[in-house]
A and B are shown apart, each in its own frame.
Chain A
Amino acid sequence: MSTDPAPAAARADDVLRLVDPAGTLDERAAAGMLDVTGELVRGLYRDMVLGRRFDQEAYSLQRQGELGLWLMSLGQEAAQAGSIRALRADDRVFPSYREHVAALCRGISPTELLSQWRGASHGSWDPERYHFHIYSLVLATQTLHAVGYAMGVRYDAADSVVLTYFGDGASSQGDASEALNWAAVTSAPIVFFCQNNGWAISTPASKQYAGPLSGRAKGFGLDAVSVDGNDVLAVHAATRAMVERVRAGGPPGLIEAHTYRMSGHSTSDDPKRYRDHAELARWEAHDPVERVRLLLTARGWADEDYFATVASDAEELATRTRGECRALPEPSLSDTFRNTLCEETEALRREREGFETYLESFL
């Protein structure tokens, strides 16, 4: 049995692809979906390069003991940048826990992103400021929060759309099915975005489900499409089209992006135990960043100077990431006491003061 479902899926006829791994744009397919300009492609390229460099820096920080854990996003840059850039700034996002590239695109800073993985907080950015909810570590819970939020958008007669990210593994949770059904029956303005990266830790997608996710979504009454998740333009075009249909009052939608996590699940994982090297090598040939680089060069939309500038911006981001990570303040239990309830109760205050007095006894 193939444990390599995504390249196959990405070749299948009903999977949208606009740029092939050699960087060739399918003009006919793109026409009518997307105005492919140098500016657009350069922007997406930059998002992906910065996101990848950030991920790499976070990985080293974990290896050097500065982070407790890191969940790598290597290989998923196109799925994330392509989708988030299809949204309006006020469209609300409910991420899972691996959406670092998307988060950076929304302006979330390295400090805000790393705090949780350093063990300094459980979620450190203001979701209102970025219209990007804090990460959810319990799989698929956020899909229901997203539906509820979308119901609220509809009540408010607002025209923003909600997008929620989840994984192929998370799709097996009851919450995920409840969310799809709920969205369909309430016509909530929501788009479910599945980053199918082929694996849920050691479990291949083939052990999560026997029929494609898009088929399941259609069964619930959603609009659904599959895209090559390593093709940033295909992801961007598909998400834009879906978001605009939903914004215009169409049924909720699901996008399944076939991609691949080119690293282990997390820094605690040992992918050698379950994944063979050939699979990785096959996927390296589908690298989402390289494809865009080839396209930019072929079209003359970017020269060496441009690539050098992006690379140096990425280095700058890495330096900033490292510095900010080390400077993150240590958490204090007193803060957790104060933040447990909106107003600290008498009992909590007494417990906190007892704790603080105890700490002071060591000074």
Chain B
Amino acid sequence: MTTTATTTTTAATTTATATATTATLGRALNEGLRQAMRDDERVVLLGEDIASLGGVFRVTDGLADEFGDRVVDTPLAESGIVGTAIGLALRGYRPVCEIQFDGFVYPAFDQIVSQLAKMRARSRGLLRLPVTIRIPVGGGIGAVEHHSESNEAYFCHTAGLRVVACGHPQDAYDMLRAAIACDDPVIFYEPKRRYWDRAEVDLARPVDGDTLGRARILREGTDATVVAYGPTVAVALGVAEVAATEGRSLEVLDLRSLSPLDTTELCRSASKTGRVVVVHEAPVNVGLGAEIAATVMEHCFYDLEAPVERVGGYNIPYPPARAEGDYLPDLDRVLDAVDRVCAP
């Protein structure tokens, strides 16, 4: 699978940065933004409270000190953030927008789905809109209403957008830089309950446009495939860990790209194990799991040993924080689904 990412920035990673370091996912994103801004002076950041505060999750911490007015504290208006990013992109800039929380992207919905996504096709390929929209996504942090939503299905349903979700620090760094270098608009999901997860991150990796469209096997297995992305990647790895102690070998596929889907990797794994469980936080109803299940069924029908199972949120609004433990797909619910697909 190829992406249309231009590689204007590929060779430029010569700036002296420590190579391998341990970093949280939030820090990796911060380093990714910093590197992208050093590499290309047309990268500008737009968002609420991103300059002096460094964003409510501190992902843009310190960037205003280094890059001055390329980090813009915007008025409090999401439609304005995305709408002006479109204008900046038309002028040759590469805006990276921060939406403060998942539930506040809707005031910008019209700009994203009606304008950002469609302008390239409408201009018959004349226009490029290299706009990245970063959205902290999902629950699990005990937040109030509108701060825990998973809205990827809305954007995946709209052609003209790339939708990606990182699940761990190295991907956060690599995928964010690839997203910014990509000439297409990218909705970039950051799993907020993983912002503080820590791992080795290699900051010397060059930008690789291919990163964007590719799923990745995080753990090889033979009995069933658990498909996850963003916040549920860690859940899936935990499930595989527990299943292994019960003598079951699970393969874990981190989707990474939600639109387009890496059907090649998905189907390869599904055909190999013959059993698939999809895990996401969004409601199962008309969620991404439905697309994945249908894709697997269309392409791997004769290799399947069981119907594809989906584990996700219920078809209700995201509940109050003190009930979210029952709502979010956890180890037990996923293990139950694994049991069902593996039943003889």
Using a CB–CB cutoff of 8 Å, the interface residues on chain A facing chain B are: 68-69, 116-123, 137-139, 169-170, 172-175, 200-203, 207-209, 268, 270, 273-274, 330-333, 336-337, 340, 347-348, 351, 355, 358-359
Contacts and interface: CB of A to CB of B under 8 A. Distances in A.
Contacts of A209: 75
B90 interface: no
Given A331-B323, A336-B323, A68 B53 contact: no
Contacts, number: 115
Contacts of A358: 333, 336
B107 interface: yes
B246 to A, nearest CB: 18
Given A202-B49, A202-B53, A203-B73, A330 B107 contact: no
Q: For this complex, into which size category does the number of interface residues on chain B fall?
A: 35 or more
A358 B337 CA distance: 12
Interface of B is mostly: loop
B270 to A, nearest CB: 25
B48 A203 contact: yes
Contacts of A119: 142, 144, 320-324
A174 B107 contact: yes
Contacts of B326: 333, 355, 359
Contact of A120 (B75, B315, B320): B320
Nearest to A170: B76
Nearest to A65: B142
Contact of B49 (A201, A340, A348, A359): A201
Interface in B292-344: 314-317, 319-324, 326-327, 333, 336
Contacts of A208: 75-76
A118 B314 CA distance: 22
A116 B52 contact: no
A68 B144 contact: yes
A180 B69 CA distance: 32
Contacts of A332: 323
A133 to B, nearest CB: 14
B80 interface: yes
Given A68-B321, A172-B76, 6 more contacts: A68-B144, A120-B322, A174-B80, A203-B73, A333-B323, A336-B317
Contacts of A173: 76-77, 107
B73 A207 contact: yes
A69 B323 CA distance: 16
12 contacts: A68-B143, A119-B144, A119-B324, A123-B145, A137-B146, A138-B107, A172-B77, A174-B77, A202-B52, A268-B56, A333-B314, A351-B315
A337 B75 contact: no
Nearest to B141: A68
Nearest to B50: A202
B75 A348 contact: no
B140 interface: no
B67 interface: no
Most buried by A among B48, B77, B143: B77
B104 interface: yes
Contact of A201 (B56, B75, B77, B145): B56
Nearest to B321: A119
Contact of B107 (A175, A274, A331): A175
Contacts of B323: 119, 330-333, 336
Nearest to B104: A138
Contacts of A138: 103-104, 106-107, 146
B143 A69 contact: yes
Contacts of A117: 144
Contacts of B147: 137
B113 to A, nearest CB: 16
B6 interface: no
B76 A203 contact: yes
Contact of B75 (A207, A333, A336, A340): A207
B79 interface: yes
Nearest to A115: B320
Nearest to B283: A351
A348 B315 contact: yes
B54 interface: yes
A172 B84 CA distance: 14
B293 to A, nearest CB: 17
Contacts of B75: 169, 172, 203, 207-209
Contact of B320 (A122, A200, A207, A348): A122
Contacts of A175: 107
B141 to A, nearest CB: 9
A247 B86 CA distance: 44
Contacts of A270: 53
A209 B77 CA distance: 12
Nearest to A122: B145
A273 B145 contact: no
Contacts of B54: 273
Contacts of B49: 200-203
Interface string B62-73: 000000000001
Contacts of B333: 358
Most buried by A among B77, B103, B320, B327: B320
Contacts of A118: 322
A68 B142 contact: yes
Contacts of B315: 340, 347-348, 351
